Chain A
Amino acid sequence: MSSHVTAASLPPSGLPGLDPAWSRVVRTPSGAWHVLDNASRLEAEPVGTILAVHGNPTWSYLWRSFVAAATRAERPWRVIAVDQLDMGFSERTGRQHRLADRVRELGELTDVLALEGPVVTAGHDWGGSISLGWAVDHPDLLAGVVLLNTAVYQPLGERAPAALRPAMVGGVRQAATVTTTGFIDTTLALAHPRLTKPVRDAFRLPYRTPSRRAAVGDFVEDIPATAENPSRPELERIAAGVRDLQVPALLAWGARDPVFSDRFLDDLRDRLPHADEHRYPTAGHLVAEDEDVASGVLRWLDARVTNAGEAAAHLDPPADGTPVRLLGAALDERADDDGPALVELRGGGSRTISWRALARRTAELSRGLAALGVRPGDRVAVLIPPGADLTAVLYACLRLGAVVVVADAGLGVGALSRAVKASRPVAVIGIERALLAARAFGWAPTLVAAGPVHRRSRGALGVDATLVEVAELGAGIELDPAQPQPDDEAAVLFTSGSTGPAKGVVYTQRGLAAMRDAVATTYGISPDRPFVAAFAPFALLGPALGATSASPDMDVTAPRTLSAAALAAAVRAVDGSVVFASPAAIVGLLETAGDLGDDDRTALAGVGTLLSAGAPVPSELLLAARELLPAAELHTPYGMTEMLPVTDVELTQILAAGDGPGVCVGRPVSGAAVSVSALDETGAATGQPSTEPGVLGEILVGGAHLKARYDRLWFTQDVSARDAGWHRTGDVGRLDAEDRLWVEGRLAHVVVTDAGVVTPVAPERAVDAVTGVVRSAVVGVGPAGTQQVVVVVEPDGSSRAGLAPADLAARVRAALDVPVAAVLTLPELPTDLRHNSKIDRTRIAAWADAVLAGRRAKP
């Protein structure tokens, strides 16, 4: 503690993002405060006041983006962001302020300011508990609470956040927090990406000398980690009071925080069960520095506080309530059927699982999981390769009402781990390799092994049970769990992560049932029409459709291993009339077509439908496939993790459509609707949903098999569901006069020139047809509205990164009907990690932008 007394002051001008007009000094009996207050900058009557409280060791600078966003918002808010006493530019009183003092002092300040409601508190770090203390004490003024990476409770017997522990030991504390700037430097280093130097300097500015840092050490000393800590009773009072808060609450959280980790977020969710949540998987402790939290918070205030009731309609559609035939209904109904449900071809032989066996296994697993403690609504992450085990586990979870979490191992272990952890499973069911990661990264408390696991590694991994044991456990239990309700959560499916971190997509039982119905209607699957699932995920739909499915002999993780003979064998095994395959599997088929015998060809000639799903399919590939499957209609769906399928197109329709503004993906399937939100001259999708032909816009999709919402990503969901009943796909395209949808690229990749919007797909296809071009990316450089079109080409043969040779540039320009500022070459165009086929236009555009501005850059 220090006895230095220094008056409050104003920060110097010129700090990045800070308007000097916001700063003022407010005198209270306890001391003089520096606060940011945008009242003088507001052009309209504010909706209310955001009272923002920083933590340790930051200052009100932390909230500058909130002050700016609230000032310019259509419905503005006054923001009062305080520097706590002895912190920031507030007075150095020389006193130590404990938690109760700080809560009381904040109330004193709002009394002096004569603050009237509605007030929304915002708190970060230890400012969270102080802001909540104020909230609990001012129920008449309180209209909402916003919390960023904070805590309101420190369980006894558990240690303080690991990263803080060293700083809490007396001598170390003094050295880390006061004598040196170590604690401040460490905190500022938690930003992702790194803060710029001017911003770091601004954060450090009020803490430049040990005497100005005294309160930084006091703050750490005041953390109530033990029962004896004098601030313990106040913390417990606040923590209990929070449970009674009924006002809207928002938790905006950076998941990569070594101090305020997920367990503190869980605690707050438990205390505020009605809270909305946005958890940024890759942001850290300084979440408002890492992400644009402020804009999201302003939108949240609009929806939840300003227009409570009306604006929220798009966020919380009323539950449908009508009954639905659950996904597992067909399986239940055929529990006494000895006919084949799944036929798996391996080597020369095959394994057949009857409906009866599958239904029994599923029932046993669901009872066994319940016995292990999995409750309806609990999440279960499933990491098992496609096959009978996966099918049984999925239907068991659905039957139990547990929420299946599915993320593709192809994400890579880091992104996969972030995805699984974000979904907060109570259990992981997986093969040994998955359990290794589950154990290492602490995915879930309960681990169930699918498939063989060695006795020794079983102990090392902490496996609670194997699937066989779970089934045995369930076999000994008579009572079936109650059936889930249609609007209960059923699954969290993760997006591929090709556009930012993978997002969890929540489906209800109703949504999954609708997906089943859309597939059944579109592709004519029924109990009378068995199918072959050469694209493994579709095998999971067989039991839902009541249709027998066959899995050909192939490595499901390497679709190209599908041979034509293996497909023919699978078709023969079940007399299949429909085949699901990925484009890579079709390539495998074509490569091995020469090995087919006459009876193989006869079998394939009986296939009536081939569905190619999982990635874009070139028409040439489908044309070649027609040679092999002469009687088959060749279908390609368009859709996304948030809704699948949306549209479908058959090869003859693609050929009839000819060249157009992009890729023709056909018409909406049964139960699906498509509209577009027109782009304005800045390239923003601002139009109302419309089905008018020819209008270029963001593609919106809707229907009963649309996602319920994104998981724990409130801001993302809010933006994607802006138009009630529609999901914004982020794709751009247009409908034609025959209701066909043409996809022209990603909204983020449109080029906005002074003559209008240029979408990339059609010009890329034109350039790809130019001699000497392997593939290409059409990107924009410069400010939106006056961007220039640039074509980046991966040429045949060797090339260097830079300007294209003059003859190639001339050929490329001649192939396009838009002006092209520059043609560049790259030896290899970067593609996104997930689909090795999607060209990473964002990265290429950044490179082109740098090179064409005369900067050195790496693609």
Chain B
Amino acid sequence: MTGAGGRTVLVTGASGMLGGGVAARLVADGWDVRALQRRPSGVVGAADVLGSVTDPDAVARAVDGVDAVVHLAAKVDIVGPEQEYRAVNVEGTRTLLAETRAAGVPRVVFVSSPSVAHVGGSLVGAGAGPAEPAHARGPYARTKASAELLALGADAPGHRVLAVRPHVVWGPGDTQLIGRIVERARAGRLPVLGSGAPLIDTTYVDNAVDALVAAVVAPDDAYGAAYVVTNGEPRPVRELIEQICAANGVPVPRLRVPAALARGVGAGLDAAWAHLPLPGEPPLTRFVAEQLSTAHWFDQRRTRRALRWEPRVSVDEGIARLAAHAGVPWTAPAPVVGRP
């Protein structure tokens, strides 16, 4: 996308993989990019505004005079006291929206998660259901659900808001998903839950970046709604994990754990970490166990129509790029020729 000449966009949370990618792409597209986060974003060509989204003054300075905001800043861990999530995810979003409204920012893209609408069980070809703060699983999903409702509730003429929910974003350099899988597999602590067959839809980071940039410039009638973004290529969870491990040169998991047992153990560990002063994060949470033993894939037709966006990097190509990044020799499978 080019021709943004002279227009300014704010990206919050640009120090992460996705936020950094979005900021860099917007720079390349000719936007004047500001990046708001607590530490330097490292994005070449972006003007850092150091601060937290929970600080109204910092936010006010950051949104002043911008044409659009892409709001990624969030607490995305899987454990920890709910109030910490609430402070960043809910109150930070409330602060941001108050300031964008006051500053007359025309467009806000709120980056959300499909987990805001997931209340347990398998999602099979699902659409983007309404956010359910009361029923979503885990503190991250619950607080993001509340925040999404706030964001879409702030959609008004002259201050349009759109929510994008990328599902399981991954790519080279990702510390969240890829990093955890590789680290645990290397330590021999990564089990396969159940059959490993449930289909999981994921999003290669470049595609998520494309979708968020497409959202910034999407037609007006796309605003006021939430869209799930994925590669549209669900794969069995075991196959994905095996390929990620192989592309990083770590052993493929051999240990099998029944899915029900894993969910029970996860629930127990959740309780332990919630009530005891334990370091780090638990080896497994109920949320993660559920995610790995149920299907999660989505109907992408509405998203692609509304955002006028298509994923460009396939899962196979993404895996090949992981291998290249890790320096592991990789033979890409024959590309898909086309569809009927």
A802 to B192, CA, bound (A): 13
Residues 191 to 211 of chain B near chain A (Cβ within 8 Å) = 194-199
B294 A754 Cβ-Cβ under 8 A: no
Q: Collect the chain A residues with CB atoms within 8 Å of residue B239's CB.
A: 803, 806, 809, 822
A803 B196 Cβ-Cβ under 8 A: yes
Question: Could you say which of A758, A781, A803, A813 contacts B195, with CB atoms under 8 Å apart?
Answer: A803
Complex interface bits, B217-261 against A, C-beta within 8 A gives 1, otherwise 0:
000000000000000111110110010000000000000000100
A817 B336 Cβ-Cβ under 8 A: yes
Question: Which of A817, A821, A852 has its CB near the most chain B CB atoms (within 10 A)?
Answer: A852
Give the distance to chain B from A742, nearest Cβ to Cβ, in Å.
Answer: 14
A788 B297 Cβ-Cβ under 8 A: yes
A851 to B122, CA, bound (A): 11
A754-B301, A803-B196, A824-B197 as given contacts; A852 in contact with B236, CB under 8 Å:
yes
Is B187 positioned at the interface, with any CB of A under 8 Å from its CB? no
Is B323 positioned at the interface, with any CB of A under 8 Å from its CB? no
B237 to A, closest residue via Cβ: A854
Is A737 positioned at the interface, with any CB of B under 8 Å from its CB? no
A820 to B, closest residue via Cβ: B336
Is B334 positioned at the interface, with any CB of A under 8 Å from its CB? yes
Question: Could you say which of A813, A824, A854 contacts B198, with CB atoms under 8 Å apart?
Answer: A854
Is B295 positioned at the interface, with any CB of A under 8 Å from its CB? yes
Q: Collect the chain B residues with CB atoms within 8 Å of residue A606's CB.
A: none
A821 to B333, CA, bound (A): 15
A853 B338 Cβ-Cβ under 8 A: no
A854 B299 Cβ-Cβ under 8 A: no
Give the distance to chain B from A769, nearest Cβ to Cβ, in Å.
Answer: 15
Complex interface bits, B296-340 against A, C-beta within 8 A gives 1, otherwise 0:
010111000000000000000000000000000000011011111
Complex interface bits, B166-200 against A, C-beta within 8 A gives 1, otherwise 0:
00000000000000000000000000001111110
Give the distance to chain B from A757, nearest Cβ to Cβ, in Å.
Answer: 7
B194 A854 Cβ-Cβ under 8 A: yes
Give the distance to chain B from A781, nearest Cβ to Cβ, in Å.
Answer: 7
A787 to B, closest residue via Cβ: B125
A803 to B301, CA, bound (A): 27
Give the distance to chain B from A855, nearest Cβ to Cβ, in Å.
Answer: 8
Is B12 positioned at the interface, with any CB of A under 8 Å from its CB? no
B242 A817 Cβ-Cβ under 8 A: no
Give the distance to chain B from A340, nearest Cβ to Cβ, in Å.
Answer: 54
A848 to B, closest residue via Cβ: B197
A821 B336 Cβ-Cβ under 8 A: no
A811 to B, closest residue via Cβ: B333
Q: Collect the chain A residues with CB atoms within 8 Å of residue B301's CB.
A: 754, 785-786
Give the distance to chain A from B241, nearest Cβ to Cβ, in Å.
Answer: 12
A578 to B339, CA, bound (A): 44
Question: Could you say which of B295, B337, B339 contacts A755, with CB atoms under 8 Å apart?
Answer: B339
Residues 774 to 798 of chain A near chain B (Cβ within 8 Å) = 781-783, 785-788
Give the distance to chain B from A608, nearest Cβ to Cβ, in Å.
Answer: 40
A817 B198 Cβ-Cβ under 8 A: no
Q: How large is the interface on B (under 10, 10 to 19, 20 to 34, 35 or more residues)?
A: 20 to 34
A814 to B122, CA, bound (A): 29
A756-B340, A818-B339 as given contacts; A852 in contact with B199, CB under 8 Å:
yes
Q: Collect the chain A residues with CB atoms within 8 Å of residue B295's CB.
A: 852-854
A754-B300, A788-B234, A806-B239 as given contacts; A818 in contact with B340, CB under 8 Å:
yes
A813 B333 Cβ-Cβ under 8 A: yes
Question: Could you say which of B125, B235, B337 contacts A822, with CB atoms under 8 Å apart?
Answer: B235
Q: Collect the chain B residues with CB atoms within 8 Å of residue A782's CB.
A: 124-125, 297
Complex interface bits, A233-249 against B, C-beta within 8 A gives 1, otherwise 0:
00000000000000000
Give the distance to chain B from A104, nearest Cβ to Cβ, in Å.
Answer: 52
Residues 745 to 773 of chain A near chain B (Cβ within 8 Å) = 753-758
Question: Could you say which of A786, A810, A817, A853 contacts B333, with CB atoms under 8 Å apart?
Answer: A810
A757 B340 Cβ-Cβ under 8 A: yes
Give the distance to chain B from A605, nearest Cβ to Cβ, in Å.
Answer: 45
A853 B195 Cβ-Cβ under 8 A: no
A788 to B295, CA, bound (A): 13
A853 B198 Cβ-Cβ under 8 A: yes
B293 to A, closest residue via Cβ: A854
Give the distance to chain A from B158, nearest Cβ to Cβ, in Å.
Answer: 34
A853 B199 Cβ-Cβ under 8 A: yes
Q: Collect the chain A residues with CB atoms within 8 Å of residue B299's CB.
A: 754, 783, 785-786
Is A193 positioned at the interface, with any CB of B under 8 Å from its CB? no
A853 B238 Cβ-Cβ under 8 A: no
Complex interface bits, B98-130 against A, C-beta within 8 A gives 1, otherwise 0:
000000000000000000000000101100000
Give the distance to chain A from B335, nearest Cβ to Cβ, in Å.
Answer: 9
A852 B197 Cβ-Cβ under 8 A: yes
Question: Could you say which of B233, B238, B333, B339 contacts A756, with CB atoms under 8 Å apart?
Answer: B339
A824 to B, closest residue via Cβ: B197
B333 A802 Cβ-Cβ under 8 A: no
A854 B242 Cβ-Cβ under 8 A: no
A785-B299, A817-B338 as given contacts; A853 in contact with B122, CB under 8 Å:
yes
Is A819 positioned at the interface, with any CB of B under 8 Å from its CB? yes
B336 A819 Cβ-Cβ under 8 A: yes
A754 to B232, CA, bound (A): 9
A801 to B, closest residue via Cβ: B195
A753 to B233, CA, bound (A): 11
A783 to B298, CA, bound (A): 10
A803-B238, A821-B199 as given contacts; A854 in contact with B122, CB under 8 Å:
yes
Complex interface bits, A378-390 against B, C-beta within 8 A gives 1, otherwise 0:
0000000000000
A821 B235 Cβ-Cβ under 8 A: yes
B233 A821 Cβ-Cβ under 8 A: yes
Which positions in A face B, CB cutoff 8 Å? 753-758, 781-783, 785-788, 802-803, 806, 809-810, 813-814, 817-819, 821-822, 824, 849, 851-855
Which positions in B face A, CB cutoff 8 Å? 122, 124-125, 194-199, 232-236, 238-239, 242, 259, 293-295, 297, 299-301, 333-334, 336-340
* Beyond A818-B339, A855-B122, 5 extra complex contacts between A and B, CB < 8 Å: A786-B125, A788-B125, A788-B234, A814-B334, A819-B339
5 of the cross-chain contacts (CB-CB < 8 Å) are A788-B199, A822-B239, A852-B198, A852-B295, A853-B198
Leading 5 A-B pairs by shortest Cβ distance: A782-B125, A854-B198, A786-B299, A817-B337, A755-B339
